[in-house]
């Protein structure tokens, strides 16, 4: 460890209390994905953090996000803009750093503020991922005062819609990823420090069945039962899951029908599909289309499929493994063991990989129980993970540009 590196680490260590206080302030404001007022307030706080480090600040308007209602109508949700902070865009090495300002907790949740229990900072978004964004800002702050400053440029991109699939942000992330050498994303590490390696791909879909409503007594045989159509296709969808290939189809919700003396004309089914390999996306989609055709023919109901694969798989390629080994070396210097393992979960690291960008996507604070009211971040990981990030940036600078090194998954 050089004196200059030690100075970076010491500067971060002195900021522990400020990091925790900033995280608490961010988490005490609800920013559920559909709560635009709350997201705007969190974005204002993030602007205060990142603007002083940036040459330019952009608020990128995102496309409206289509949603299917429980009665099968399509409406559109207008997300907040995506925040994009840039510094030194002509420096020899460009790093894309990404995160999200939204959480899974709606404003009427009973999990709205932070508290401390021993080493755990409990609260919504403490781990996923407001704590991570604060660790990132802290790493950039200390690099700003160092000799490494002019050797790299960064783009910090913060999505408002990650927890609902980054449907708006995804195309912007793809665009930004193409002009970067490395990606660093601030999803939480597991409580023991384990990172996510390879990730499955994922898509969310909604099927709307339209039949014909009739009286169950007077003209039952003239009706076309949408609930029965969805029941049939749900069984067919479930049968597409295959442990051997890793493909899963999870039927998550069915809504439809009403009084039992009426043949129901509408039913809505929501499901999630996960795949190991990009090629499986087309295969599963073809099987879904075939199931739709068969059930339509059998029931006389019209079935309409909405949705898409929004996160392509992120495979562990050789260059990707090299990036992890570089991080492991940084961890060793800090006395941290760095391990990673494959996961069925996915995040914006999938989107970056799909654009060919090498990236590590769990550089945020350590934590657990995310997406539940038991979420917490480990207080002893704030300094640790910010130090890891700062040291990692110096090593990426030394390693040099590797644009387009990840296996491109674009189709
Ligand atoms: Zn997250």
For ligand 1, the distance from its centroid to the CA atom of residue 361, given in whole angstroms, is 10
Q: Which stretches of 334-381 are DSSP H helices?
A: 348-354
Measured CA to CA, the distance from residue 287 to residue 236 in angstroms comes to 9
Dump pLDDT digits (tens) for 54-68. Answer: 999 999 999 999 999
Dump pLDDT digits (tens) for 280-328. Answer: 999 999 999 999 999 999 999 999 999 999 999 999 999 999 999 999 9
Read off the pLDDT band of 402 (50, 70, 90): confident
Could you give the count of Cα atoms lying within 13 Å of 281 in the half-sphere of its Cβ?
19
Average pLDDT over residues 32-52: 98
Confirm if 391 and 5 have CB atoms less than 8 A apart: yes
Read off the pLDDT band of 403 (50, 70, 90): confident
For ligand 1, the distance from its centroid to the CA atom of residue 239, given in whole angstroms, is 30
Number of continuous H segments (helices) and E segments (strands) in the chain:
10, 19
Measured CA to CA, the distance from residue 93 to residue 83 in angstroms comes to 21
For ligand 1, the distance from its centroid to the CA atom of residue 156, given in whole angstroms, is 15
DSSP 380: G
For ligand 1, the distance from its centroid to the CA atom of residue 187, given in whole angstroms, is 5
Question: How confident is the model at residue 410, as a pLDDT?
Answer: 40
Residue 411 scores a pLDDT above 60: no
Identify the CA nearest to 273 among candidates 216, 203, 209.
Answer: 203
Measured CA to CA, the distance from residue 275 to residue 401 in angstroms comes to 31
Dump pLDDT digits (tens) for 168-179. Answer: 999 999 999 999
Average pLDDT over residues 194-221: 96
For ligand 1, the distance from its centroid to the CA atom of residue 284, given in whole angstroms, is 26
Question: How confident is the model at residue 407, as a pLDDT?
Answer: 53
For 36, 37, 326, 371, the CA distances from 160, given in Å and listed in that order, are 9, 12, 30, 16
pLDDT, the chain, mean: 96
For ligand 1, the distance from its centroid to the CA atom of residue 370, given in whole angstroms, is 8
For 272, 347, 401, the CA distances from 249, given in Å and listed in that order, are 6, 18, 39
What CATH number has the domain spanning 3-198+314-399?
A: 3.40.630.10
Query: Measured on CA atoms in the order 355, 82, 168, 162, is the torsion positive or negative?
Result: positive
Measured CA to CA, the distance from residue 301 to residue 150 in angstroms comes to 63
What are the DSSP E strand ranges found in 200-352?
A: 201-210, 248-256, 266-275, 302-311, 340-343
For ligand 1, the distance from its centroid to the CA atom of residue 109, given in whole angstroms, is 18
Evaluate whether the domain defined by 201-311 bears CATH number 3.30.70.360. yes
For ligand 1, the distance from its centroid to the CA atom of residue 149, given in whole angstroms, is 28
Average pLDDT over residues 235-248: 96
For ligand 1, the distance from its centroid to the CA atom of residue 129, given in whole angstroms, is 5
For ligand 1, the distance from its centroid to the CA atom of residue 104, given in whole angstroms, is 9
For ligand 1, the distance from its centroid to the CA atom of residue 185, given in whole angstroms, is 9
For ligand 1, the distance from its centroid to the CA atom of residue 100, given in whole angstroms, is 7
For ligand 1, the distance from its centroid to the CA atom of residue 302, given in whole angstroms, is 37
For ligand 1, the distance from its centroid to the CA atom of residue 222, given in whole angstroms, is 49
pTM of the model: 0.93
Confirm if 79 and 170 have CB atoms less than 8 A apart: no
Residue 408 scores a pLDDT above 90: no
For ligand 1, the distance from its centroid to the CA atom of residue 377, given in whole angstroms, is 13
Domain boundaries, the chain: 3-198+314-399, 201-311
For ligand 1, the distance from its centroid to the CA atom of residue 163, given in whole angstroms, is 7
For ligand 1, the distance from its centroid to the CA atom of residue 246, given in whole angstroms, is 23
For ligand 1, the distance from its centroid to the CA atom of residue 292, given in whole angstroms, is 33
For ligand 1, the distance from its centroid to the CA atom of residue 223, given in whole angstroms, is 45
């Amino acid at each position: 460890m050089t004196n200059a590196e030690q100075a970076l680490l010491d500067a971060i260590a002195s900021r522990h209390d400020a990091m925790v206080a900033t995280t608490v302030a961010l988490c005490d404001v609800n920013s559920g994905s559909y709560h635009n007022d709350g997201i705007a307030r969190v974005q204002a706080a993030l602007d205060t953090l990142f603007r002083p480090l940036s040459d330019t600040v952009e608020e990128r308007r995102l496309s409206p996000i289509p949603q299917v209602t429980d009665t099968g109508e399509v409406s559109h949700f207008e997300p907040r803009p995506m925040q994009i902070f840039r510094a030194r865009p002509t420096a020899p090495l460009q790093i894309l750093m990404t995160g999200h300002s939204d959480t899974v907790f709606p404003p009427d949740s009973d999990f709205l503020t932070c508290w401390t229990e021993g080493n755990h900072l409990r609260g919504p978004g403490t781990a996923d991922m407001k704590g991570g964004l604060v660790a990132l800002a802290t790493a950039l702050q200390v690099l700003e005062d160092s000799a490494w400053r002019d050797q790299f440029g960064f783009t910090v991109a913060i999505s408002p819609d990650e927890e609902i699939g980054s449907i708006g942000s995804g195309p912007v992330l793809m665009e930004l990823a193409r002009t970067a050498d490395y990606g660093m994303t601030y999803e939480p590490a597991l409580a023991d420090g384990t990172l996510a390696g390879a990730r499955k791909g994922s898509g969310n879909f909604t099927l709307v069945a339209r039949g014909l409503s009739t009286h169950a007594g007077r003209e039952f045989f003239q009706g076309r039962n949408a609930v029965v159509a969805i029941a049939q296709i749900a069984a067919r969808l479930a049968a597409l899951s295959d442990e051997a290939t890793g493909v899963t189809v999870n039927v998550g919700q069915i809504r439809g029908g009403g009084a039992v003396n009426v043949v129901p004309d509408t039913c809505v089914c929501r499901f999630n599909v996960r795949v190991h390999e990009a090629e499986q996306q087309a295969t599963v989609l073809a099987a879904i289309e075939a199931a739709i055709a068969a059930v339509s023919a059998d029931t006389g109901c019209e079935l309409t499929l909405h949705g898409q694969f929004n996160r392509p798989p992120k495979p562990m390629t050789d260059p990707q493994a090299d990036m992890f080994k570089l991080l492991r070396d940084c961890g060793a210097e800090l006395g941290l063991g760095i391990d990673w393992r494959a996961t069925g979960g996915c995040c914006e690291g999938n989107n970056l990989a799909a654009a060919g960008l090498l990236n590590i996507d769990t550089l945020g604070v350590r934590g657990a129980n995310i997406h539940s009211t038991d979420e917490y971040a480990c207080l002893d990981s704030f300094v640790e993970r910010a130090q890891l990030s700062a040291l990692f940036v110096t090593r990426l600078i030394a390693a040099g540009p590797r644009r387009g090194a990840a296996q491109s998954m674009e189709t």
